[in-house]
Amino acid sequence: MLSKNKIKLIQSLSRKKNRDETGLFLAEGNKMVEEALRSDFKVETLVCTSGFLQLHPEIRLTVKELIETDSESIQKASLLQNPQDSLAIVRKPSNPEPVLNLKTELILALDFIQDPGNLGTILRIADWFGIKTVVCSENTVDVYNPKVVQASMGAIFRVKTAVTDLKDFLKTATRNQVPVYGTFLEGQNIYTETLSSNGIIVLGNEGNGISPEVAKLVSHKISIPSFSSGKGSESLNVAVATAICCSEFRRR
Amino acid sequence: MLSKNKIKLIQSLSRKKNRDETGLFLAEGNKMVEEALRSDFKVETLVCTSGFLQLHPEIRLTVKELIETDSESIQKASLLQNPQDSLAIVRKPSNPEPVLNLKTELILALDFIQDPGNLGTILRIADWFGIKTVVCSENTVDVYNPKVVQASMGAIFRVKTAVTDLKDFLKTATRNQVPVYGTFLEGQNIYTETLSSNGIIVLGNEGNGISPEVAKLVSHKISIPSFSSGKGSESLNVAVATAICCSEFRRR
Protein backbone atom coordinates (compact mmCIF):
# COMPACT_ATOMS: atom_id res chain seq x y z
CA MET A 1 0.00 0.00 0.00
CA LEU A 2 1.14 3.48 -0.88
CA SER A 3 0.45 5.71 2.13
CA LYS A 4 -0.68 9.30 1.84
CA ASN A 5 2.59 10.37 3.40
CA LYS A 6 4.60 8.49 0.80
CA ILE A 7 2.60 10.06 -2.02
CA LYS A 8 3.24 13.43 -0.45
CA LEU A 9 6.98 12.72 -0.23
CA ILE A 10 7.10 11.58 -3.87
CA GLN A 11 5.32 14.65 -5.12
CA SER A 12 7.40 16.95 -2.94
CA LEU A 13 10.49 15.77 -4.82
CA SER A 14 9.42 17.80 -7.84
CA ARG A 15 10.87 20.80 -5.94
CA LYS A 16 14.60 21.39 -5.53
CA LYS A 17 14.16 22.68 -1.99
CA ASN A 18 12.65 19.37 -0.93
CA ARG A 19 15.25 17.34 -2.81
CA ASP A 20 17.99 19.27 -1.03
CA GLU A 21 16.37 18.85 2.37
CA THR A 22 15.75 15.13 2.06
CA GLY A 23 18.77 14.27 -0.08
CA LEU A 24 16.42 12.27 -2.32
CA PHE A 25 15.26 12.40 -5.91
CA LEU A 26 12.84 10.56 -8.13
CA ALA A 27 13.40 8.11 -10.99
CA GLU A 28 10.21 7.39 -12.90
CA GLY A 29 9.33 4.95 -15.64
CA ASN A 30 10.45 1.34 -15.89
CA LYS A 31 13.60 1.96 -17.92
CA MET A 32 14.79 4.67 -15.57
CA VAL A 33 14.01 2.57 -12.50
CA GLU A 34 15.89 -0.39 -13.98
CA GLU A 35 18.88 1.90 -14.62
CA ALA A 36 18.72 3.15 -11.03
CA LEU A 37 18.66 -0.40 -9.68
CA ARG A 38 21.60 -1.40 -11.88
CA SER A 39 23.66 1.65 -10.85
CA ASP A 40 25.79 2.48 -7.83
CA PHE A 41 23.06 4.80 -6.59
CA LYS A 42 21.09 3.77 -3.52
CA VAL A 43 17.39 3.16 -4.14
CA GLU A 44 15.66 3.99 -0.87
CA THR A 45 12.13 3.10 -1.88
CA LEU A 46 10.82 1.21 -4.86
CA VAL A 47 7.14 1.50 -5.66
CA CYS A 48 6.00 -1.01 -8.27
CA THR A 49 3.30 -3.36 -9.45
CA SER A 50 3.43 -7.09 -8.88
CA GLY A 51 3.99 -7.46 -12.63
CA PHE A 52 7.18 -5.39 -12.44
CA LEU A 53 8.34 -7.44 -9.45
CA GLN A 54 7.85 -10.69 -11.31
CA LEU A 55 10.08 -9.41 -14.10
CA HIS A 56 12.77 -8.36 -11.60
CA PRO A 57 12.74 -10.94 -8.80
CA GLU A 58 16.25 -9.90 -7.63
CA ILE A 59 14.91 -6.51 -6.52
CA ARG A 60 13.72 -7.79 -3.17
CA LEU A 61 17.33 -8.25 -2.16
CA THR A 62 18.68 -4.86 -3.14
CA VAL A 63 16.02 -2.32 -2.22
CA LYS A 64 15.70 -0.88 1.27
CA GLU A 65 11.93 -0.39 1.11
CA LEU A 66 9.67 -2.13 -1.36
CA ILE A 67 6.07 -1.04 -1.84
CA GLU A 68 3.98 -3.30 -4.01
CA THR A 69 0.88 -1.56 -5.28
CA ASP A 70 -1.39 -1.20 -8.30
CA SER A 71 -1.07 1.01 -11.38
CA GLU A 72 -3.76 3.37 -10.12
CA SER A 73 -1.79 4.21 -6.98
CA ILE A 74 1.37 4.78 -9.00
CA GLN A 75 -0.66 7.00 -11.30
CA LYS A 76 -1.80 8.98 -8.29
CA ALA A 77 1.72 9.54 -6.96
CA SER A 78 3.48 10.04 -10.26
CA LEU A 79 4.69 13.34 -11.72
CA LEU A 80 4.54 11.85 -15.23
CA GLN A 81 1.60 12.17 -17.56
CA ASN A 82 1.84 8.51 -18.50
CA PRO A 83 3.31 6.69 -15.52
CA GLN A 84 4.43 3.10 -15.89
CA ASP A 85 4.68 0.21 -13.44
CA SER A 86 7.37 1.56 -11.16
CA LEU A 87 8.99 4.55 -9.57
CA ALA A 88 12.03 4.82 -7.34
CA ILE A 89 13.04 7.21 -4.62
CA VAL A 90 16.81 7.43 -4.93
CA ARG A 91 19.46 8.91 -2.64
CA LYS A 92 21.53 11.68 -4.21
CA PRO A 93 25.26 10.98 -4.11
CA SER A 94 27.33 13.59 -2.31
CA ASN A 95 28.50 16.39 -4.57
CA PRO A 96 31.94 15.21 -5.72
CA GLU A 97 35.11 17.26 -5.99
CA PRO A 98 35.26 17.93 -9.73
CA VAL A 99 39.01 18.43 -10.22
CA LEU A 100 40.18 14.94 -11.10
CA ASN A 101 42.37 13.52 -13.85
CA LEU A 102 42.27 16.86 -15.62
CA LYS A 103 45.36 15.94 -17.61
CA THR A 104 43.80 12.98 -19.37
CA GLU A 105 40.07 13.50 -19.24
CA LEU A 106 37.60 15.40 -21.40
CA ILE A 107 35.08 17.25 -19.23
CA LEU A 108 31.96 19.28 -19.99
CA ALA A 109 31.40 22.46 -17.99
CA LEU A 110 27.91 24.00 -18.07
CA ASP A 111 27.52 27.73 -17.60
CA PHE A 112 23.91 28.45 -16.57
CA ILE A 113 22.01 25.82 -18.55
CA GLN A 114 18.37 26.52 -17.69
CA ASP A 115 16.26 23.99 -19.53
CA PRO A 116 15.97 20.57 -17.84
CA GLY A 117 15.42 18.84 -21.20
CA ASN A 118 18.68 20.30 -22.47
CA LEU A 119 20.62 19.26 -19.37
CA GLY A 120 19.23 15.71 -19.55
CA THR A 121 20.12 15.48 -23.24
CA ILE A 122 23.63 16.80 -22.53
CA LEU A 123 24.14 14.07 -19.91
CA ARG A 124 22.99 11.47 -22.46
CA ILE A 125 25.45 12.88 -25.02
CA ALA A 126 28.27 12.85 -22.44
CA ASP A 127 27.47 9.23 -21.67
CA TRP A 128 27.56 8.28 -25.37
CA PHE A 129 30.88 9.98 -25.95
CA GLY A 130 32.53 8.48 -22.87
CA ILE A 131 32.74 11.78 -21.00
CA LYS A 132 32.75 10.77 -17.36
CA THR A 133 32.29 14.13 -15.66
CA VAL A 134 29.94 17.06 -16.22
CA VAL A 135 30.59 20.12 -14.08
CA CYS A 136 27.63 22.47 -13.54
CA SER A 137 27.72 26.11 -12.51
CA GLU A 138 25.70 26.88 -9.41
CA ASN A 139 22.97 28.56 -11.48
CA THR A 140 22.54 25.59 -13.83
CA VAL A 141 19.24 23.72 -13.41
CA ASP A 142 19.41 20.99 -10.75
CA VAL A 143 20.58 17.67 -12.23
CA TYR A 144 18.08 15.85 -10.01
CA ASN A 145 15.10 17.74 -11.42
CA PRO A 146 12.68 14.98 -12.55
CA LYS A 147 12.69 16.33 -16.12
CA VAL A 148 16.49 16.16 -16.24
CA VAL A 149 16.46 12.59 -14.92
CA GLN A 150 13.84 11.66 -17.54
CA ALA A 151 15.61 13.32 -20.48
CA SER A 152 18.95 11.76 -19.50
CA MET A 153 17.51 8.32 -20.26
CA GLY A 154 19.53 6.87 -17.41
CA ALA A 155 22.78 8.73 -18.14
CA ILE A 156 22.32 10.49 -14.79
CA PHE A 157 23.24 7.19 -13.16
CA ARG A 158 26.44 6.79 -15.16
CA VAL A 159 27.89 10.27 -15.70
CA LYS A 160 29.38 11.95 -12.64
CA THR A 161 27.95 15.43 -12.08
CA ALA A 162 29.39 18.11 -9.82
CA VAL A 163 28.01 21.52 -8.94
CA THR A 164 30.74 24.03 -8.31
CA ASP A 165 31.90 27.61 -8.72
CA LEU A 166 32.67 27.44 -12.43
CA LYS A 167 35.14 30.31 -12.42
CA ASP A 168 37.21 28.77 -9.63
CA PHE A 169 37.13 25.43 -11.39
CA LEU A 170 38.33 26.92 -14.68
CA LYS A 171 41.05 28.92 -12.92
CA THR A 172 42.37 25.72 -11.34
CA ALA A 173 42.27 24.05 -14.74
CA THR A 174 44.20 26.91 -16.31
CA ARG A 175 46.86 26.77 -13.56
CA ASN A 176 47.28 23.10 -14.43
CA GLN A 177 47.74 23.83 -18.16
CA VAL A 178 44.44 22.20 -19.03
CA PRO A 179 42.97 23.70 -22.22
CA VAL A 180 39.55 25.34 -21.78
CA TYR A 181 37.42 25.33 -24.92
CA GLY A 182 34.22 27.26 -25.49
CA THR A 183 32.00 28.00 -28.48
CA PHE A 184 31.75 31.60 -29.70
CA LEU A 185 30.51 33.05 -32.97
CA GLU A 186 33.96 34.53 -33.58
CA GLY A 187 35.83 31.33 -32.57
CA GLN A 188 38.11 29.18 -34.71
CA ASN A 189 36.42 26.69 -37.03
CA ILE A 190 35.99 23.51 -34.98
CA TYR A 191 36.42 21.39 -38.12
CA THR A 192 39.94 22.65 -38.85
CA GLU A 193 41.22 23.52 -35.36
CA THR A 194 43.46 20.96 -33.66
CA LEU A 195 41.55 19.68 -30.64
CA SER A 196 43.30 18.05 -27.72
CA SER A 197 42.20 14.73 -26.25
CA ASN A 198 41.92 16.22 -22.77
CA GLY A 199 40.47 19.48 -21.55
CA ILE A 200 37.26 21.21 -20.68
CA ILE A 201 34.48 22.19 -23.09
CA VAL A 202 32.37 25.06 -21.71
CA LEU A 203 28.76 25.28 -22.89
CA GLY A 204 26.75 28.43 -22.33
CA ASN A 205 23.23 29.53 -21.52
CA GLU A 206 20.41 28.91 -24.04
CA GLY A 207 19.70 32.56 -24.66
CA ASN A 208 22.95 34.33 -23.89
CA GLY A 209 25.74 31.84 -24.46
CA ILE A 210 28.82 31.80 -22.24
CA SER A 211 28.78 34.57 -19.62
CA PRO A 212 31.44 37.32 -19.91
CA GLU A 213 33.25 36.31 -16.70
CA VAL A 214 33.49 32.68 -17.80
CA ALA A 215 34.43 33.71 -21.36
CA LYS A 216 37.58 35.37 -19.99
CA LEU A 217 38.72 31.97 -18.72
CA VAL A 218 38.30 30.20 -22.08
CA SER A 219 41.72 29.63 -23.62
CA HIS A 220 40.50 28.21 -26.96
CA LYS A 221 37.53 29.88 -28.62
CA ILE A 222 35.95 27.62 -31.22
CA SER A 223 32.87 27.84 -33.40
CA ILE A 224 30.62 25.50 -35.36
CA PRO A 225 30.30 27.07 -38.81
CA SER A 226 26.88 27.45 -40.39
CA PHE A 227 26.38 26.19 -43.93
CA SER A 228 23.22 28.17 -44.45
CA SER A 229 23.23 30.64 -47.29
CA GLY A 230 21.73 34.04 -46.66
CA LYS A 231 19.17 34.91 -44.05
CA GLY A 232 18.29 33.01 -40.95
CA SER A 233 19.65 30.12 -38.87
CA GLU A 234 21.17 32.18 -36.11
CA SER A 235 21.76 29.48 -33.61
CA LEU A 236 21.92 25.86 -32.67
CA ASN A 237 20.25 24.43 -29.60
CA VAL A 238 22.86 24.03 -26.83
CA ALA A 239 22.43 20.24 -26.65
CA VAL A 240 22.93 20.04 -30.42
CA ALA A 241 26.07 22.19 -30.14
CA THR A 242 27.29 19.92 -27.35
CA ALA A 243 26.79 16.87 -29.55
CA ILE A 244 28.75 18.36 -32.43
CA CYS A 245 31.58 19.44 -30.12
CA CYS A 246 31.80 16.02 -28.47
CA SER A 247 31.73 14.33 -31.86
CA GLU A 248 34.58 16.52 -33.12
CA PHE A 249 36.72 15.99 -30.02
CA ARG A 250 36.25 12.22 -30.11
CA ARG A 251 36.54 11.45 -33.83
CA ARG A 252 40.09 10.94 -35.04
CA MET B 1 -10.38 43.90 -30.29
CA LEU B 2 -9.95 40.16 -30.33
CA SER B 3 -13.37 38.59 -30.91
CA LYS B 4 -14.51 35.39 -29.29
CA ASN B 5 -14.60 33.78 -32.69
CA LYS B 6 -11.01 34.72 -33.39
CA ILE B 7 -9.89 33.32 -30.03
CA LYS B 8 -11.76 30.15 -30.88
CA LEU B 9 -10.04 29.95 -34.27
CA ILE B 10 -6.60 30.50 -32.71
CA GLN B 11 -7.09 27.82 -30.12
CA SER B 12 -8.56 25.41 -32.64
CA LEU B 13 -5.24 25.52 -34.50
CA SER B 14 -3.65 23.41 -31.79
CA ARG B 15 -5.33 20.46 -33.54
CA LYS B 16 -4.11 19.02 -36.83
CA LYS B 17 -7.64 18.38 -38.04
CA ASN B 18 -8.44 22.07 -37.78
CA ARG B 19 -5.16 23.13 -39.35
CA ASP B 20 -5.87 20.84 -42.28
CA GLU B 21 -9.43 22.10 -42.67
CA THR B 22 -8.55 25.79 -42.53
CA GLY B 23 -5.11 25.58 -44.16
CA LEU B 24 -3.80 27.75 -41.33
CA PHE B 25 -1.29 27.41 -38.52
CA LEU B 26 -0.07 29.45 -35.60
CA ALA B 27 3.22 31.28 -35.01
CA GLU B 28 3.56 32.50 -31.45
CA GLY B 29 6.08 34.68 -29.67
CA ASN B 30 7.69 37.82 -31.03
CA LYS B 31 10.73 36.18 -32.60
CA MET B 32 8.61 33.60 -34.38
CA VAL B 33 6.14 36.23 -35.58
CA GLU B 34 8.98 38.39 -36.88
CA GLU B 35 10.35 35.39 -38.76
CA ALA B 36 6.91 34.73 -40.24
CA LEU B 37 6.59 38.34 -41.39
CA ARG B 38 10.06 38.26 -42.94
CA SER B 39 9.40 34.97 -44.76
CA ASP B 40 7.60 34.07 -47.98
CA PHE B 41 4.72 32.70 -45.93
CA LYS B 42 1.46 34.59 -45.96
CA VAL B 43 0.41 36.00 -42.59
CA GLU B 44 -3.39 36.08 -42.61
CA THR B 45 -3.94 37.67 -39.24
CA LEU B 46 -1.55 39.38 -36.90
CA VAL B 47 -2.62 39.89 -33.31
CA CYS B 48 -0.32 42.21 -31.40
CA THR B 49 0.01 44.97 -28.84
CA SER B 50 0.48 48.60 -29.80
CA GLY B 51 4.04 48.31 -28.44
CA PHE B 52 4.84 45.56 -30.95
CA LEU B 53 3.32 47.65 -33.75
CA GLN B 54 5.48 50.64 -32.88
CA LEU B 55 8.58 48.46 -33.20
CA HIS B 56 7.41 47.15 -36.58
CA PRO B 57 5.62 50.01 -38.36
CA GLU B 58 6.01 48.33 -41.76
CA ILE B 59 3.63 45.56 -40.70
CA ARG B 60 0.51 47.55 -41.54
CA LEU B 61 1.42 47.22 -45.20
CA THR B 62 2.07 43.50 -45.36
CA VAL B 63 -0.54 41.86 -43.18
CA LYS B 64 -4.01 41.03 -44.43
CA GLU B 65 -5.75 41.48 -41.09
CA LEU B 66 -4.26 43.35 -38.16
CA ILE B 67 -5.77 43.13 -34.69
CA GLU B 68 -4.33 45.50 -32.14
CA THR B 69 -5.10 44.44 -28.61
CA ASP B 70 -3.66 44.22 -25.11
CA SER B 71 -1.42 41.60 -23.52
CA GLU B 72 -4.29 40.16 -21.50
CA SER B 73 -6.28 39.32 -24.64
CA ILE B 74 -3.23 37.71 -26.24
CA GLN B 75 -2.73 35.76 -23.05
CA LYS B 76 -6.32 34.54 -23.28
CA ALA B 77 -5.97 33.34 -26.86
CA SER B 78 -2.43 31.95 -26.65
CA LEU B 79 -1.43 28.31 -26.45
CA LEU B 80 1.86 29.28 -24.78
CA GLN B 81 2.42 29.35 -21.03
CA ASN B 82 4.21 32.69 -21.31
CA PRO B 83 2.77 34.51 -24.32
CA GLN B 84 4.48 37.61 -25.64
CA ASP B 85 3.20 40.66 -27.51
CA SER B 86 2.16 39.02 -30.75
CA LEU B 87 0.84 35.98 -32.49
CA ALA B 88 0.27 35.28 -36.15
CA ILE B 89 -2.18 33.13 -38.04
CA VAL B 90 -0.22 31.94 -41.04
CA ARG B 91 -1.32 30.19 -44.24
CA LYS B 92 0.30 26.80 -44.80
CA PRO B 93 2.11 26.58 -48.13
CA SER B 94 0.89 23.82 -50.42
CA ASN B 95 2.68 20.55 -49.88
CA PRO B 96 5.53 20.66 -52.40
CA GLU B 97 6.68 17.88 -54.68
CA PRO B 98 9.80 16.66 -52.85
CA VAL B 99 11.82 15.22 -55.74
CA LEU B 100 13.94 18.16 -56.83
CA ASN B 101 17.66 18.60 -57.50
CA LEU B 102 18.30 15.19 -56.08
CA LYS B 103 21.64 15.01 -57.83
CA THR B 104 23.17 17.98 -56.05
CA GLU B 105 21.23 18.41 -52.85
CA LEU B 106 21.47 16.90 -49.38
CA ILE B 107 18.01 16.04 -48.05
CA LEU B 108 16.74 14.74 -44.71
CA ALA B 109 13.98 12.11 -44.77
CA LEU B 110 12.10 11.48 -41.54
CA ASP B 111 10.60 8.07 -40.90
CA PHE B 112 7.89 8.40 -38.24
CA ILE B 113 9.34 11.11 -35.99
CA GLN B 114 6.77 11.44 -33.22
CA ASP B 115 7.98 14.14 -30.87
CA PRO B 116 7.23 17.74 -31.94
CA GLY B 117 10.26 19.06 -30.05
CA ASN B 118 12.50 16.67 -31.98
CA LEU B 119 10.99 17.65 -35.34
CA GLY B 120 11.38 21.35 -34.58
CA THR B 121 15.00 20.84 -33.51
CA ILE B 122 15.68 18.80 -36.68
CA LEU B 123 14.35 21.68 -38.82
CA ARG B 124 16.62 24.08 -36.93
CA ILE B 125 19.60 21.77 -37.56
CA ALA B 126 18.71 21.47 -41.26
CA ASP B 127 18.57 25.26 -41.49
CA TRP B 128 21.99 25.62 -39.84
CA PHE B 129 23.60 23.09 -42.14
CA GLY B 130 22.08 24.56 -45.29
CA ILE B 131 19.79 21.61 -45.94
CA LYS B 132 16.93 23.07 -47.93
CA THR B 133 14.44 20.21 -47.90
CA VAL B 134 13.13 17.91 -45.20
CA VAL B 135 10.86 15.10 -46.37
CA CYS B 136 8.46 13.65 -43.79
CA SER B 137 6.74 10.29 -43.85
CA GLU B 138 2.97 10.48 -43.57
CA ASN B 139 3.08 9.24 -39.97
CA THR B 140 5.60 11.86 -38.84
CA VAL B 141 4.18 14.53 -36.51
CA ASP B 142 2.67 17.49 -38.37
CA VAL B 143 5.28 20.19 -39.10
CA TYR B 144 2.66 22.86 -38.36
CA ASN B 145 2.04 21.57 -34.85
CA PRO B 146 2.57 24.64 -32.60
CA LYS B 147 5.29 22.86 -30.63
CA VAL B 148 7.18 22.07 -33.82
CA VAL B 149 6.91 25.68 -34.98
CA GLN B 150 8.18 26.85 -31.59
CA ALA B 151 11.09 24.41 -31.36
CA SER B 152 12.17 25.22 -34.93
CA MET B 153 13.01 28.77 -33.81
CA GLY B 154 11.86 30.06 -37.18
CA ALA B 155 13.50 27.39 -39.32
CA ILE B 156 10.00 26.27 -40.34
CA PHE B 157 9.84 29.45 -42.44
CA ARG B 158 13.12 28.74 -44.22
CA VAL B 159 13.40 24.99 -44.68
CA LYS B 160 11.05 23.44 -47.24
CA THR B 161 9.07 20.53 -45.80
CA ALA B 162 7.16 17.94 -47.77
CA VAL B 163 4.95 15.13 -46.54
CA THR B 164 5.05 12.15 -48.82
CA ASP B 165 5.03 8.38 -49.09
CA LEU B 166 8.60 7.83 -47.92
CA LYS B 167 9.03 4.47 -49.61
CA ASP B 168 7.97 5.84 -53.00
CA PHE B 169 10.27 8.82 -52.54
CA LEU B 170 13.25 6.62 -51.70
CA LYS B 171 12.49 4.29 -54.62
CA THR B 172 12.54 7.26 -56.98
CA ALA B 173 15.81 8.40 -55.45
CA THR B 174 17.32 4.96 -55.92
CA ARG B 175 16.20 4.82 -59.56
CA ASN B 176 18.05 8.13 -60.02
CA GLN B 177 21.25 6.77 -58.44
CA VAL B 178 20.91 9.04 -55.43
CA PRO B 179 22.59 7.51 -52.36
CA VAL B 180 20.26 6.82 -49.44
CA TYR B 181 21.98 6.90 -46.04
CA GLY B 182 20.52 5.76 -42.76
CA THR B 183 21.89 5.16 -39.26
CA PHE B 184 21.93 1.61 -37.93
CA LEU B 185 23.80 0.04 -35.02
CA GLU B 186 25.55 -2.30 -37.48
CA GLY B 187 26.31 0.46 -40.01
CA GLN B 188 29.73 1.64 -41.20
CA ASN B 189 31.53 4.13 -38.95
CA ILE B 190 30.35 7.58 -40.06
CA TYR B 191 33.76 9.06 -39.16
CA THR B 192 35.68 6.89 -41.62
CA GLU B 193 33.08 6.25 -44.32
CA THR B 194 33.27 8.37 -47.48
CA LEU B 195 30.13 10.51 -47.52
CA SER B 196 28.81 12.06 -50.70
CA SER B 197 27.88 15.72 -50.98
CA ASN B 198 24.42 14.86 -52.25
CA GLY B 199 21.92 12.27 -51.15
CA ILE B 200 19.27 11.49 -48.61
CA ILE B 201 19.82 10.89 -44.90
CA VAL B 202 16.99 8.87 -43.36
CA LEU B 203 16.27 9.35 -39.66
CA GLY B 204 14.10 6.92 -37.78
CA ASN B 205 11.53 6.84 -35.04
CA GLU B 206 12.54 7.78 -31.48
CA GLY B 207 11.85 4.35 -30.02
CA ASN B 208 12.25 1.98 -32.92
CA GLY B 209 14.63 3.60 -35.37
CA ILE B 210 14.15 3.19 -39.11
CA SER B 211 11.23 0.91 -39.98
CA PRO B 212 12.02 -2.41 -41.70
CA GLU B 213 10.34 -1.42 -45.00
CA VAL B 214 12.30 1.83 -45.19
CA ALA B 215 15.51 0.11 -44.07
CA LYS B 216 15.37 -2.04 -47.21
CA LEU B 217 15.65 1.11 -49.30
CA VAL B 218 18.75 2.42 -47.52
CA SER B 219 21.79 1.92 -49.75
CA HIS B 220 24.43 3.10 -47.25
CA LYS B 221 24.08 1.98 -43.65
CA ILE B 222 26.12 4.18 -41.33
CA SER B 223 26.52 4.41 -37.56
CA ILE B 224 27.73 6.92 -35.00
CA PRO B 225 30.15 5.00 -32.79
CA SER B 226 29.83 5.25 -29.02
CA PHE B 227 32.93 6.08 -27.01
CA SER B 228 31.43 4.88 -23.77
CA SER B 229 33.24 2.08 -21.99
CA GLY B 230 31.17 -0.72 -20.58
CA LYS B 231 27.56 -0.57 -19.60
CA GLY B 232 24.98 1.96 -20.64
CA SER B 233 24.56 4.69 -23.26
CA GLU B 234 22.41 2.71 -25.62
CA SER B 235 21.21 5.52 -27.76
CA LEU B 236 21.35 9.11 -28.88
CA ASN B 237 18.29 11.32 -29.18
CA VAL B 238 17.23 11.44 -32.85
CA ALA B 239 17.81 15.21 -33.11
CA VAL B 240 21.31 14.75 -31.68
CA ALA B 241 22.00 11.96 -34.19
CA THR B 242 20.72 14.24 -36.96
CA ALA B 243 23.11 16.97 -35.87
CA ILE B 244 26.11 14.66 -35.88
CA CYS B 245 25.15 13.26 -39.31
CA CYS B 246 24.70 16.72 -40.81
CA SER B 247 27.97 17.88 -39.30
CA GLU B 248 29.82 14.90 -40.78
CA PHE B 249 28.29 15.34 -44.23
CA ARG B 250 29.06 19.05 -44.33
CA ARG B 251 32.56 19.17 -42.80
CA ARG B 252 35.33 18.64 -45.35
Digit-coded pLDDT (tens) for A78-89: 988 888 899 999
Q: Give the pLDDT band (50/70/90) at residue A113.
A: very high
How far apart (Å, rounded) are the C-alpha atoms in residues B187 and B221? 5
ipTM beyond cut 0.85: yes
CB pair distance less than 8 Å for B252 and A191: yes
pLDDT band at B141 (very low <50, low <70, confident <90, very high): very high
Asked if residue B166 lies in contact with residue B109, where contact means CB atoms within 8 angstroms, the answer is yes
Lowest model confidence (mean pLDDT) among A155-164, B138-147, B232-241: B232-241
Name all domains of chain A by residue range, CATH numbers in brackets.
4-91 (3.30.1330.30), 106-250 (3.40.1280.10)
**Is the pLDDT reported for residue A138 higher than 60?**
yes
**Local structure of A28: helix, strand or coil:** strand
Put simply, the answer to whether B154 touches A237 (Cβ < 8 Å) is no
B121 closest CB neighbour out of A38, A130, A237: A237
| Spatial contact of A31 and A83, defined as CB atoms under 8 Å apart | no
Round to whole Å and give the CA distance between B128 and A228: 5
CA distance B210 to chain A (A): 20
Range scoring the smallest mean pLDDT among A98-107, B127-136, B184-193, B195-204: A98-107
Gap from B218 CA to chain A (nearest CA, Å):
24
Q: Do A233 and B121 touch (CB under 8 A)?
A: no
Distance from CA of A176 to the nearest CA of B (A): 26
Residue A249: closest CA among chain B residues belongs to which residue?
Answer: B227
Q: With 70 as the cut, is the pLDDT of residue A121 above it? A: yes
Q: pLDDT tens for residues A207-246?
A: 999 999 999 999 999 999 999 876 665 689 999 999 999 9
Q: What is the DSSP string of A37-88?
A: HHSSSEEEEEEE-HHHHHH-TTHHHH-SEEEE--HHHHHHH-SSSS--SEEE
Q: What is the pLDDT of residue A60?
A: 81
- pLDDT more than 70, % of chain B: 96
Task: Give chain B positions within 8 Å (CB) of A128.
Answer: 226-228, 233, 235-236
Instruction: Place A195 in a pLDDT band, splitting at 50, 70 and 90.
Output: very high
CA distance A127 to chain B (A): 6
Nearest residue of B to residue A130 by CA position?
Answer: B228
> What distances in angstroms separate CA A71 from CA A28, A83, A146, B48, B129, one per listed residue?
13, 8, 20, 46, 45
Q: Does residue A98 surpass a pLDDT of 70?
A: no
**List of chain B residues whose C-beta atoms are within 8 Å of the C-beta of residue A250:** 227
What pLDDT score does B82 carry? 82
From chain A, pick out residues whose CB is under 8 angstroms from the CB of B153. 234-235
Angle at B124 between CA B120 and CA B129, to 5 degrees: 145
Please state the pTM of the whole predicted model. Answer: 0.94
Collect all residues from A whose CB is shorter than 8 A from any CB in B: 35, 38, 117, 121, 124-125, 127-130, 153-155, 157-158, 191, 224, 226-229, 231-237, 239-240, 243-244, 247-248, 250-252
Query: Cβ separation of B130 and A226 shorter than 8 Å?
Result: yes
Give chain B positions within 8 Å (CB) of A227. 128-130, 250
CB contact under 8 A, A233 and B191: no
Q: Which chain B residue's Cα is nearest to A106?
A: B227
- Residue B79 has a pLDDT of 87
Contact A130 B191 (CB under 8 A): no
Cβ–Cβ < 8 Å for A165, A127: no
Backbone angles phi, psi at A127, to 5 degrees: -60, -45
